[in-house]
Amino acid sequence: MWLYKLFSFIMMPKKSHSTSRRIFAREAKKLGGREFRKWYKLMESLEPFYASLPDRTQNTIPRLYISGDEDHLFLPFVIQSYLRDPLASIHIIEKCGHVCNIEKPEEFNRISLSYLTSYPDLPKLQNIPEHTQAHKIAMKLRKNH
């Protein structure tokens, strides 16, 4: 159990993430040690996986990325994927960590349902507030392209 709690603090260190940490640890415990270690090893392959994705200019499937601005583990990959995909939309939830559907369920649901119910006339969402970590990451990634 201590491993689950430790990993949850690494992923979600802020006080406002406490509910997400508790749920993460509870669900990780249900997985069991072997399955949790498999999931943990999967984390190592994220960066190479995202780097290996081809340019998505040929993509015909719209995507909506919703992420918390305090998700320091996945946020760079989410923004990188968004910037590489011309049909992608993004919505960054401020003062929110990795599990934004738990920390800010009303905003997460409002954005998700609005996007899904507008199909096939999907709006192009680009909500990356200027004063957030997500904006800094996006600006850095844009300069490198």
DSSP secondary structure string for all residues of 3-46: HHHHHHHHH--SGGGHHHHHHHHHHHHHH-HHHHHHHHHHHHTH
d(CA 64, CA 67): 10
Residue 92 pLDDT > 90: yes
Q: Which CATH superfamily is domain 58-144 in?
A: Alpha/Beta hydrolase fold, catalytic domain (3.40.50.1820)
- pLDDT over threshold 80, residue 48: no
The residue ranges of every structural domain in the chain are: 2-44, 58-144
Q: Which residue has the tokens 């923004």?
A: 79
On whether the CB atoms of residues 126 and 64 are closer than 8 A, the answer is no
CA distance 11 to 18: 11
Q: How many residues does the chain have?
A: 145
Q: Using an 8 Å Cβ cutoff, are 25 and 8 in contact?
A: yes
Report how far residue 122's alpha carbon sits from residue 62's, in angstroms, rounded to the nearest whole number.
8
Look at residue 10 in the predicted model and tell me its pLDDT.
Answer: 81
80 or 1: which carries more pLDDT confidence? Answer: 80
For the chain, give the mean pLDDT.
84
The pLDDT score that the predictor gives to residue 56 is 58
Q: What pLDDT was estimated at residue 53?
A: 65
Task: Kindly report which listed range (14-23, 27-36, 78-87, 107-116) carries the lowest average pLDDT score.
Answer: 27-36
* pLDDT band (50, 70, 90) for residue 142: confident
Q: Residue 109, exposed/middle/buried by CB under 10 A (0-12, 13-18, 19+)?
A: exposed
* pLDDT one-digit tens code per residue, 93-134: 999 998 999 999 999 999 999 999 888 787 788 888 888 888
* Whole-prediction pTM: 0.77
The pLDDT assigned to 90 comes to: 94
Which residue is associated with the tokens 């498999």?
A: 38
Residue 18 has pLDDT above 70, yes or no: yes
